[in-house]
Amino acid sequence: MAALADPTRRAVFERLRGGPRPVGEIARDLPVSRPAVSQHLRVLKDAGLVTERRDGTRRLYRVDPNGVAAIRDYFDEFWNEALAAFKAAAESEGRET
């Protein structure tokens, strides 16, 4: 779950959010080697944030929508809890007046 802790890995991930890309293209505008990018992609894949598919001779990497949906689901619950706390606070505060 520390998959996105590394800034370079996050940069790799960010470059995939515009659509599927091959390793070479991801590496091109990053100040790291291609093998390093491959390594980062492997970690992202293991974390369920990125998927890989073959396209002829090359591999294309893309953001796994399920992984990103998991983030959204997390925030569904996150805001449920925050708003419930807000409601409780708003309605109890100043009730005596």
Partner 1 sequence: MTTQTSIEPVHRSVTVDRSVEDAFRVFTEELGNWWPVETHSIAKDAVETVVMEGQVGGRLYERTTGGEEHGWGRMLVWEPPRRVAFEWHITGVPTEVEVRFTPAGQGTRVDLEHRGFERVENGAERRDSYSSGWVTVLGRYAAAAA
Binding stretches for partner 1 (CB under 8 A)? 1-5, 7, 10-11, 14-15, 17-20, 47, 63, 65, 68-91, 93-94
Alpha-carbon gap, residue 7 to 5, rounded angstroms: 6
CB closer to partner 1 out of 7 and 56:
7
Give the nearest distance from C-beta 34 to partner 1 in angstroms: 19
Lookup: tokens for 60: 């294309």
Q: Which tokens belong to 77?
A: 């619950």
Q: Provide, rounded to whole angstroms, the least separation between the CB of residue 22 and partner 1.
A: 13
Report how far Cα 76 is from the mean position of its chain's Cα atoms: 16
